[in-house]
Amino acid sequence: MNYSIFNVIKNDYCIGCGACVFADKDFSVQLDEYGMYKAEYDHSKINDNNIELAEKYCPFSDNSLDEDKIAEIFFEKELPKNENIGKNIKCFAGYVIEKPFREKGSSGGFGKWMLYKLMEKNKVDYVIQVAEENKNDILFSYKVFSKNENILEGSKSAYYPVTLNGILDFIKENKGSYAITALPCFSKAIRNICVHDNVISQRIKYIIGIVCGHLKSTAFAELFAWQLGITPDNIKSIEFRDKLDGLRSNEKGVYAVNKIGEKTIVRSSKMLFGGNWGYGLFKYKACDYCDDVVGETADASIGDAWLEEYINDSGGNNIVIIRNREIYQIINEAIENGTLNFKPIDVEKVVKSQEGGLRNRREGLQYRSLRQKRKWKWVPVKRNFKFSKIRHERKRLYRLREKIRKKSHKYFLIAKKEKDLQYFVNKMQKITNKTERPSLLYRIENKLYLGWQPIKKQLLKLLS
Ligand SMILES: Cc1cc2nc3c(=O)[nH]c(=O)nc-3n(C[C@H](O)[C@H](O)[C@H](O)COP(=O)(O)OP(=O)(O)OC[C@H]3O[C@@H](n4cnc5c(N)ncnc54)[C@H](O)[C@@H]3O)c2cc1C
């Protein structure tokens, strides 16, 4: 039978969230050879009812609800909506004053603070967030935190594959109320499950959305650690978001620890190959076919305030989008009692802080989908956004980024087999360098255009 979820899996649009496994145990989710969680299906045991449910949960299937429809169900009808960040009550920028959340956080420390407050105020019994793992060579995974556990043990930004496989079963089997952190596609999957599963719907009270440029395979951590002197088979842990005093907040400090506990030096991600987020090294294919950057289906979305006013503050600041009144009230109280240094900001500012990601996920997605359709290939159905004509240079950049995504997975696997990091860097630099300079066609066009301008000026002068 032609189920859309099989197209998702067959054409590599799976993000590995595990929502399908929750619906039907004939699905399974495993790390593939490139280090990305992907779903598989045992075709010998077709059970149509459950596949239909899995279709409704899968964030990339054509039969799950899109972000706009989900927002209509879960958020107040009259909330203002912005095309780029979805429905919102208010947006803020700033950081947590209450210690040590900012020091222990990726940027302003709001993520773990919010989870802590929800627990402290007895709004939830459990918090589910990503934390360090250190088991079976997995560095990060989702973990359940109950009342007596330290929320601050949650990770900073885990640029690392995660899955909800097993976590959703835990929620179903254990009474109580939950708050969970989620990347946009994971949040979409959770909401779609809530639409069809009353138990999960009643138990998950808050989704804390993590703004997302894209998700990485395990190779991203391995590449950084390798450059710092720890080979991929010897990593115990990695820090992607150490704060570098005196530097701009988008300079992320990276260090790794090997299996006998030795820590490397801290280097700025900008000094490491692969640190340029715009290249999209080791990206899941699904991320190139997702149109939600901020997590429009989450009760609150949290990102980095990489805006002119905040970028020079190496301590880090968040941008936060609020869609839930209770969370809004907790924030307002905390601003009043001096726990949060938050200022309201315009939606346009939030959009500006994510403009690169939004361009790639909206304009870029439209172009990538069109290219697939021209080749008669299946692509997930996405929301319709209006665009002006895409410039030739941007099309070239989108094509190069796709090439980087595909090749980075392949070349890194070879580099690991050959134990040759330089092989990977050399191969990839040939492609990444092309993104740094304009195409030959563009340079010729530009020369002709610039040469023509003085002639045009003279002609106009003569004619007037
Ligand atoms: C893959 C990825 C891509 C991102 N891309 C962008 C971007 O393009 N633009 C932007 O502004 N921000 C992006 N972020 C978010 C940003 O890096 C910070 O995580 C966010 O600003 C929260 O900062 P904080 O100081 O509040 O974090 P903290 O207080 O440290 O809280 C972070 C919380 O997020 C949870 N968490 C960490 N990683 C994950 C994960 N993979 N899945 C689910 N939960 C997780 C942790 O468990 C913790 O509870 C990205 C994060 C990730 C993980």
Q: 113: helix, coil or strand?
A: helix
Distance, in Å, from the CA atom of 103 to the CA atom of 221, rounded to the nearest integer, reads 22
Query: Of all protein residues, whose CA lies closest to atom 19 belonging to ligand 1?
Result: 157
Ligand 1 atom with the shortest distance to the CA of 304? 11
The pLDDT tens digits of the residues spanning 413-454 come to: 999 999 999 999 999 999 999 998 777 777 777 777 778 788
Q: Which of 224-228, 348-352, 404-408, 436-440 has the lowest mean pLDDT?
A: 436-440
The gap from C-alpha 374 to its chain's centroid, in whole angstroms, comes to 28
- For the segment 273-326, what is each residue's pLDDT rounded down to a tens digit? 999 999 999 999 999 999 999 999 999 999 999 999 999 999 999 999 999 999
pLDDT tops 70 at residue 1? no
Dihedral angle sign, alpha carbons of residues 22, 23, 25, 27: negative
Residue whose CA is closest, atom 10 of ligand 1? Answer: 303
- Are 304 and 94 within 8 A, CB to CB? no
- For the chain, the 3-state helix, strand and coil shares in percent, each to the nearest 5, are 45, 20, 40
Closest residue by Cα to residue 38 from 10, 57, 61, 3 = 10
Predicted local distance difference test score (pLDDT) of residue 48: 62
- Based on the number of CB atoms within 10 Å of its own CB, is 123 exposed (0-12), middle (13-18) or buried (19 or more)? middle
Nearest CA, atom 41, ligand 1: 158
- Paired with 206 in beta bridges are 179
| d(CA 228, ligand 1 centre) in Å | 23
Tokens describing residue 209: 């959305």
CA distance 421 to 427: 10
User: Going by CA atoms, what residue is nearest to atom 8 of ligand 1?
Assistant: 213
If you measure from the C-alpha of residue 367 to the centroid of ligand 1, how many angstroms do you get, rounded to a whole number? 27
Q: Which atom of ligand 1 is nearest to the CA of 277?
A: 8
Query: What is the token pair recorded at 334?
Result: 């905390």
Structure tokens given for 317: 């600041």
Q: Cα of 208 to ligand 1 centre, how many Å?
A: 10
Of 36, 104, 106, the residue with max ligand 1 atoms within 8 A of its CB, to mutate for a pocket test, comes to 106
Residue 243 token pair: 């704060």
Question: Could you report the per-residue pLDDT of 325-359, keeping only the tens digit for each?
Answer: 999 999 999 999 999 999 999 999 999 999 999 99
Checking if the pLDDT of 185 tops 80, the result is: yes
Looking at this protein, which amino acid is placed at residue 172? K
DSSP labels, 194-239: HHH-HHHHHHEEEEEEE--S--B-THHHHHHHHHTT--GGGEEEEE
Phi then psi dihedrals of residue 439, to 5 deg: -70, 165
Cα–Cα distance between 394 and 390 in angstroms, integer? 7
Q: Which residues line the pocket of ligand 1, CB cutoff 6 A? A: 105-112, 115, 129-130, 154-159, 162, 181-183, 210-213, 215, 302-304, 318, 354, 357
- Which residue out of 84, 124, 157 has the highest number of ligand 1 atoms within 8 Å of its CB and is therefore the one to mutate? 157
Could you tell me if 155 and 141 are in contact, meaning their C-beta atoms sit under 8 angstroms apart?
no
Largest Cα–Cα distance of the chain, in whole Å? Answer: 84
- The dihedral over CA atoms of 405, 128, 263, 244, expressed in degrees to the nearest 10, equals 80
Three-class DSSP category at 258:
strand
81-92 burial, b for 16+ CB within 10 Å, e for fewer?
ebebbbbbbbbb
Q: Give me the helix-helix angle, 110-120 and 325-336, nearest 10°.
A: 100
pLDDT, residue 263, reads 98
Element (H, E) at 321: strand 318-322
What are the residue ranges spanned by the domains of the chain?
A: 4-216+282-356, 219-279, 404-464
* Class of CATH domain 219-279: mainly beta
Return the exposure string of 94-112: e unless at least 16 CB atoms fall within 10 Å of the residue's CB, then b. bbbbeeebbebbbbbbbbb
Q: What does each C-alpha distance from 129 to 81, 152, 153, 179, 290 come to in angstroms?
A: 28, 10, 9, 8, 22
Q: What is the rounded CA–CA span in Å between residue 157 and residue 318?
A: 13
Q: Quickly tell me which residue has 């079963």 as its tokens.
A: 169
Q: What is the number of the ligand 1 atom nearest to the C-alpha of 316? A: 25
Both tokens assigned to 251: 């300079």
Mean pLDDT of 249-269: 96
Closest CA to ligand 1's atom 24 = 109
Unique residue bearing structure tokens 């002639």: 455
Q: How confident is the model at residue 25 (pLDDT cuts 50, 70, 90)?
A: very high
**What pLDDT is recorded for position 375?**
97
Mean of all residue pLDDT scores within the chain: 95
Bridge partner list, 252: 243
Q: What is the pLDDT of residue 326?
A: 98
- The Cα–Cα gap between 353 and 369 comes to 25
> Closest Cα to atom 50, ligand 1: which residue?
212
Pocket-testing residue among 160, 162, 206, 210, ligand 1, by greatest number of atoms within 8 A of Cβ: 210
Distance between CA atoms of 379 and 376, rounded to whole angstroms? 9
The pLDDT value recorded for residue 46 is 62
